Amino acid sequence: MNDAVALYTTAECWRGAGISFVQIARGLTRHGFRPHIIATSPEVADHLSREGVAVTLLQRERRLQAVRLRRRLGELGASLVIVDRAHDLRVATRAAIGTELGVINRYNLFRSGIPDDLLTRLAYRDIVKEVVFLSWSARERVLSAAPFMRNTTATTIYEGVDLKKFRPDPRAAGIFCETVHIDSPFILAVGALSAEKRYEFMFDALALLGDEAPPLLICGEGEGDAKLRARAAAMRLDVRFMGRLSHDEMCGAYNASIGLVHTGCVETFGLGVLEAMACGKPVVVSAGGALPELVGRDSGAGTLVDADSIPETASAIRCLFAEPDQAATTAERARKRAMLFPVEAMEDAYADLVRRNLRSDTA
């Protein structure tokens, strides 16, 4: 059995595919496989390298991407490649045509429309060996709307969190507050500065709190940075843009906050929400996408709010600082809920996925 496995990503920012691919690669290594990540962004490739995984930086010129990918996969001796973007699936499909290369597609698209172009349909007919969904809700929604995907084996693998790294840690909280010079209770938001995260909706909810509104620290970067800074300033909100933080800094930020607020409602999973829960912090999240599945509708591990209700969101944020006893109870339940999603379980599931598909190549 060939134990070389490739992971291919054209992601431009580090969080998201980068973190997940590192976790998958580490798990595959632990199980005796030889994973190798192929990236087209120098920034992402640099981060991957610093995480200690094998990585190749491929030129991002679209016209020759499939040719270059095919050549690199041949050099690696990989017969299986994992992708998680619609564009990357198309590139991998072009690279695989006429070969024995198989593709695993992690369906990580938050948009409602499902890609159904001719090349994607060809991929699911001849190239994709298995499709991975990050939640059961996404699996049910997508497969019910895309009959052409139903003949491909589907599985659900949740994202995982390192419970040893992301945990209640007062010392990390103190270091973070000292580093960023903040000494008042604040709420945290984590995610790319992009439209689907709905930061403007969050700003509107904070505005309803008036002078009661706590400072908001946003950890993330993206094309919406300038627009969001201007919007927060115009609304006279205390919003601090922290940019991208390291794992250690993120752990400190989660622990130092009074809770995390996430108003995006199309998440395929919600890794930042899970990390906050693992740090024993209450979360306020929109009841959309995979977030109800992550937080749990009845466990009390977080507050689910109507995705279209600014007043309900504002009220839930107020509870984070106005009802400390309730927040503390929710925080305890959040940590327990997060323990259902250990990174080791995610790693093992991907190792099993790769093992059965590599075995099918030699059957």
Mean pLDDT across the chain = 93
Q: What is the pLDDT of residue 346?
A: 98
Summarize pLDDT for 131-176 with one digit per residue, the tens: 999 999 999 999 999 999 999 999 999 999 999 999 999 999 999 9
For the segment 249-270, the average pLDDT, to the nearest whole number, is 96
Phi, psi at 246, each rounded to 5°: -75, 170
271 class by beta-carbon count within 10 Å (0-12 exposed, 13-18 middle, 19+ buried) = buried
CB-based contact 221:42 (threshold 8 Å)? no
Instruction: Compute the CA torsion angle 305, 306, 307, 310 (nearest 10 deg).
Output: -90
User: Domain 170-338 maps to which CATH number in 3.90.25.10, 2.60.40.10, 3.40.50.2000, 3.30.70.100?
Assistant: 3.40.50.2000
Percentage of the chain modeled with pLDDT above 90: 87
Chain center to CA of 68: 27
Summarize pLDDT for 296-318 with one digit per residue, the tens: 988 689 999 999 999 999 999 99
CA nearest neighbour of 124 among 137, 133, 112, 115: 115
Q: Is the pLDDT of residue 1 over 60?
A: no
Residue ranges of domains in the chain: 4-160+343-362, 170-338
Return the amino acid letter for 177.
C
Terminal-to-terminal C-alpha distance of the chain: 10
Summarize pLDDT for 204-222 with one digit per residue, the tens: 999 999 999 999 999 998 8
Instruction: State the architecture of 4-160+343-362 in CATH terms.
Output: 3-Layer(aba) Sandwich (3.40)
Q: Is the pLDDT of residue 15 over 70?
A: no
For the segment 69-83, the average pLDDT, to the nearest whole number, is 96
Q: Do domains 4-160+343-362 and 170-338 have the same CATH topology?
A: yes
